[in-house]
Structure 1
Amino acid sequence: MTPTRTLALLGFLLLAVAPAFAQTTLPAPASSVPTLEAVTVSGVQPGPGLWKVKRGEHTLLILGTLTPLPKNMSWQTAEIDDALSHTDALILPPKVEIKPNTGFFGRLALLPSLIGVRNSPDGKTLQESVPPDVYARWLTVKEKYIGDDRKVERYRPIFAVLELYKSAVRKSGLARSGGVTRTVMDLASKHGVKQVPVEYTLLVDDPRAAVKSFKKSTLDDVSCFAQSIDNIDAQLADMTARANAWATGDIAALQDDRTAKQRITCMNAATDSGVAQQIGLTDVPRAVREHWLAAVDAAMASNTQTIAIVPLDDLLGGNGYLSALKAKGYSVLAPDEGD
């Protein structure tokens, strides 16, 4: 495991409850997301449509992405293809990198401290880290989705949950959806559209000390752990429903309050720790949002039409990017709303 990956590991919950669902790049033809195994919907589907943001004569179209998505589904890209043919720029999904602020030899010196970063401090097992009733419920869902994996019993509760969700998604008939972004980027290249990255890099000055401090520290992650194992079955059903809603363009069904509440609980467990505050992880969501809004302001000032790709969980909700755009004076129309 590289130093950069390990530092990213410490900040994983800033982006999602279960980064098992993080996007991966898949090879995709120019007209569809790769065909995958069936859940509920299958065949060619329209996708969610595009949010329209306007100020004067300038327009921003936003494609909200979701992961996981149904297997055995092909996404009909005619709408986004046509929009890109009249577009000046494509704003790519926000990207966060957490890197050690050291040279090559400093990174080499960091490597020995990375071993066991997921494990509970003082060698505690999950059985020793969580209440007996919570552990009993954990054993039930672990048997169902993970099976006999003794390694995970040494993990911190929050990392054990990640393994649980990875395995559960693999068994649920859902699939990662990085092909959506890849397809849009390929279409943009076909039309000669400028692609604008939105990247935020957090440099950690003393990564070795941060990793050592994290390994010794405790996280208030029992609530996250308990809520996650109690919700796993219902949440998989919610994921399937949202995936089908994305595929069929059902905007109203894309909200997911259960996941939003659980995400907040787990994010608080990660960001309230002293180590997270020490290296600046608590500021990352705000900084990323500001970077994205600045990219939108710049694009709207100079382009007649711009397209942006944004994960739905960042887009929706009271603190989402759409609300921030409205607060800045932009008019925002959902895909199912008329002009």
Structure 2
Amino acid sequence: MPNRLLPALCLALFTSGAFAQADQVTAEADAPTEKILLVGQRPGPGLWKVSKDDHVLWVFGTYSPLPEKMEWRSQQVEAILAQSQEYLEPPTAHAKVGFFLGLTMLPSLIGVKKNPDGATLQDVLPADVYARWQPLKAKYLGDDQDIERERPIFAAQTLFSAGLKQAGLSKGYEVGRKIDGIVKQRKIKVTETGIKLEMDDPSRMLKEFKKSPLADAACFSKTLARLESDIDAMRVRANAWAKGDLEAIQKLSYADQESECGDAMLNADFVKSRPGFQNIKERVLAAWVASAEKAIAANGTSFAMLQMADIVGPDSYLSALKAKGYQIDSPD
């Protein structure tokens, strides 16, 4: 995790966990084996079309992980962006802390990733889970003793990132960066679609976080499960996205650790006591839908980027628009 303030720390976990990939929880027992990852330019999937009368919102679905050596380029996306009057950023939940307040909090960040009271992973994890951790740690992280004192949620994130890299996969951030570059180059109006979280006392929240235990053993265990049994299937899904094969993506279920890791933060005591941090998923969805409706009403053509799970998952953002009377057309 980047060395930022607690609000950014928490929210990075909220957005990567609570709003991340599909909420599928069953590991694919017979996942196909795929050792070769696609390279070169690839288009990804087509665009979803949300329309009312002659006004259209085009939606592009992002995915993670992706082949590390793949270069994403979609002529369809570039053409649609060239016609668009507004770009809706991906939905997030975030909080802002003033610069000078941030400086005063920096000393308190020391040890923020560590377990309370000097506990180690062996102290806080079930014995069978810790036994599974040791060979994976040796494989992906080597002899890293410092990580043994980190909270399971942070150790899991570090391990998973290392596992992806060794498997030739990346988080796929370059897709978003490329779209942002096109938007900036064409000077398209940019609209934030998320929510701001109220923080009355960030310093106190930081202190409470450092002292509070987290129910993050499930997050840790499911992260191990992904690396133990899902690497080949990750390659299949990554290639499927690169080729635009949505059917292949949807056929493969997996033990999703992201929702477990997000819940570990969202259900922690230092969050439960703060009204402004409640019902985040529902509020983010509602904020995005409201932004989408405004964009569709105001523009002939608009463009939005969502994670694939927010398009085809059980809590689809597009289903919420369909319920309001909008026409939804999937890619060909």
What band does the TM-score fall into relative to the shorter chain? Answer: 0.7 to 0.9
1:202 and 2:197 matched: yes
Q: 1:1-339 to 2 correspondence within 5 Å?
A: 5-17=5-17, 39-100=36-97, 104=100, 106-255=101-250, 257-260=253-256, 262-279=257-274, 280-336=276-332
Contact 1:69 1:174 in 2 (8 A): yes
Cα gap change, 1:42/1:182 in structure 2, threshold over 3 Å: closer, same or farther? same
**Matched letter for residue 330 of structure 1:** Y
Superimposed CA distance per residue, residues 138-176 of structure 1 (whole angstroms, 9 cap, x where no aligned partner): 101111111110111001111110111111112111123
Deviation at 1:103? Answer: 6.8
Give deviations 1:236-290, integer Å, cap 9, x for gaps: 3333222111110001123364254x33322222211111223433433333222
Residues 92 and 197, structure 1, Cα contact 8 Å, conserved in 2: yes
One-letter code of the match for 2:72?
W
Mean alpha-carbon deviation: is it higher for 227-236 or for 240-249?
Answer: 227-236
Kept in 2: contact 1:11–1:270 (CA 8 A): no
Q: Deviations over 1:94-148 (max 9, x none)?
A: 2443333x672x4333222211111111111001111111111110111111111
Hey, what's the Cα distance between the residues in 1 that align with 2:209 and 2:319?
Answer: 34
Change (3 A) 1:3 1:290: farther
| Mapped partners of 1:133, 1:175: distance in 2 | 29
Distance 1:12 1:76 in 2: 27
Query: Which structure has the higher relative contact order (CA within 8 Å, separation 6+)?
Result: 2
CA spacing shift, 1:186–1:273, aligned 2, 3 Å: closer
Task: Report the CA distance shift for 1:149/1:159 in structure 2 as closer, same or farther (over 3 A).
Answer: same
Corresponding residue SS for 2:304: strand
Which consecutive residues of structure 2, in runs of 5 or more, have no partner in the other structure?
22-34
C-alpha distance in 2, partners of 1:276/1:88? 38
Contact 2:86 2:189 in 1 (8 A): yes
Root-mean-square deviation over aligned CA pairs: 2.7
- Normalization by structure 2: what TM-score? 0.86
Distance 1:82 1:103 in 2: 39
Q: Shift of the alpha carbon at 1:330?
A: 1.7
| Offset, 1:221 | 1.4
Distance 2:19 2:296 in 1: 31
- Determine if contact 2:65/2:170 at 8 Å carries over to the other structure: yes
CA separation of 1:192/1:116 partners in 2, compared to 1, >3 Å: closer, same or farther? closer
The residue type equivalent to 2:76 in the other structure is E
Secondary structure of the 2:204 match is helix
Q: Percent identity?
A: 37
AA matched with 2:162: S
TM-score with structure 1 setting the length: 0.84
Supply the distance in 1 between the matched residues of 2:2 and 2:261 (Cα, whole angstroms): 24
For the 8 Å contact 2:93–2:284, the answer to whether it is kept is yes
Q: Which residue of 2 aligns with 1:29?
A: none
Q: Distance in 1 between matches of 2:123 and 2:289?
A: 45
Q: 1:181-226 CA deviation, whole Å, 9 max, x = no partner?
A: 2322333445453332334332421112111111111111112212
Q: Residue deviations 1:294-324, cap 9 Å, x none?
A: 1111111111221111122333311121222
The answer as to whether partners of 1:69 and 1:175 remain within 8 angstroms in 2 is: yes
Question: 2: distance between equivalents of 1:297 and 1:312?
Answer: 20
C-alpha spacing 1:268/1:175, structure 2 compared with 1 (3 Å): closer
| Conserved? CA contact 1:158–1:221, under 8 Å | yes
Question: What count of residue pairs does the alignment treat as equivalent?
Answer: 317
The 1:294–1:324 alpha-carbon spacing in structure 2 relative to 1, beyond 3 Å, is same
> Which amino acid in the other structure matches residue 283 of structure 2?
A
Which amino acid in structure 2 is aligned with residue 75 of structure 1? W
* Aligned mates of 2:88, 2:135 — CA distance in 1: 44
- Name the stretch that deviates more: 177-186 or 140-149: 177-186
Aligned partners of 2:78, 2:197: CA distance in 1, in Å?
34
For structure 1, which segment, 120-129 or 192-201, has the greater mean C-alpha deviation from structure 2 after superposition?
192-201
